[in-house]
A = this chain, B = another copy of it.
Amino acid sequence: MMLENTLHTVVDRKQSFVKDEFLVKAGHDFKKLYVIHSGALKTSITTHEGKEQINGFYLPGDIVGFDGIASQKYSNNISALTNTLVCELDYDELMVLVSKNPPLLKMVLNLLSLDIINYQKLMICYSQKKADERLAAFIYSLYFRYAQRGHSSLNIKLSMSRHDIANFLGLTIETVSRIFTRLQELDILSVKGKYIHIKDINKLTKIANEL
């Protein structure tokens, strides 16, 4: 991600987190953004009933934490799906740089705008896609995001559990499981635990209803 390169001389505090460790908890004071160097993160909120609701999975290159800007409190929990190395960006320092550097400002605004578009797409996904379409879209999005990062491969290792996938997609683990087997019967995927091989990406995108 360009932002990291632009800033690496200035803000370069790498920090590592182990699986299931929290980087931040919702409600805490907003200070930093996190650029993922390696590993994977998830963001979640805790509902009034105390249940977790995952609202994002993040891969190397992604920046996490924009939700905290408005209220200066993080609105999400951020935790590590696996051992993860992140680069911390101090928001106030970033603001100082941004105000002196219009291209950087543009970049930051683009990232925020991308985040908005990302959530808009997810909204659509939830509001009109059926369970199999959601899961197909989810698998495809992982494939696509790895490909964007130069790791184009039909083999994907899921860094999250079935429980996390179901939670994120607004389904139950049973439904996710059933759809995985269905997609295997259709010769679209082959699934072995956390390892997924995409056997027919055309059919996958067709089911996912994405171009």
Indicate whether A127 sits within 8 Å of B169 (C-beta atoms), given known contacts A112-B113, A119-B116, A119-B119.
yes
- A150 an interface residue at 8 Å Cβ cutoff? no
Question: Please, how many residues of chain A have a CB less than 8 angstroms from a CB on the other chain?
Answer: 44
Residue of B47, B112, B123 touching A109 (CB-CB under 8 A): B112
Contacts of A169 in B (CB 8 A): 127
Indicate whether A48 sits within 8 Å of B209 (C-beta atoms), given known contacts A55-B123, A69-B112.
yes
Please name the residue on chain B nearest to A75 by beta carbon: B117
- Cross-chain contact B105 with A69 (CB below 8 angstroms): no
- A170 an interface residue at 8 Å Cβ cutoff? yes
For the complex, what is the distance from the CA of A110 to the CA of B75, rounded to whole Å?
Answer: 13
Indicate whether A124 sits within 8 Å of B45 (C-beta atoms), given known contacts A112-B113, A116-B119.
yes
Please name the residue on chain B nearest to A70 by beta carbon: B113
- A67 an interface residue at 8 Å Cβ cutoff? yes
- Cross-chain contact A116 with B115 (CB below 8 angstroms): yes
For the complex, what is the distance from the CA of A47 to the CA of B133, rounded to whole Å?
Answer: 14
Please name the residue on chain B nearest to A115 by beta carbon: B116
- A5 an interface residue at 8 Å Cβ cutoff? no
5 A-B pairs, CB-CB below 8 angstroms? A68-B113, A99-B99, A109-B109, A119-B119, A127-B168
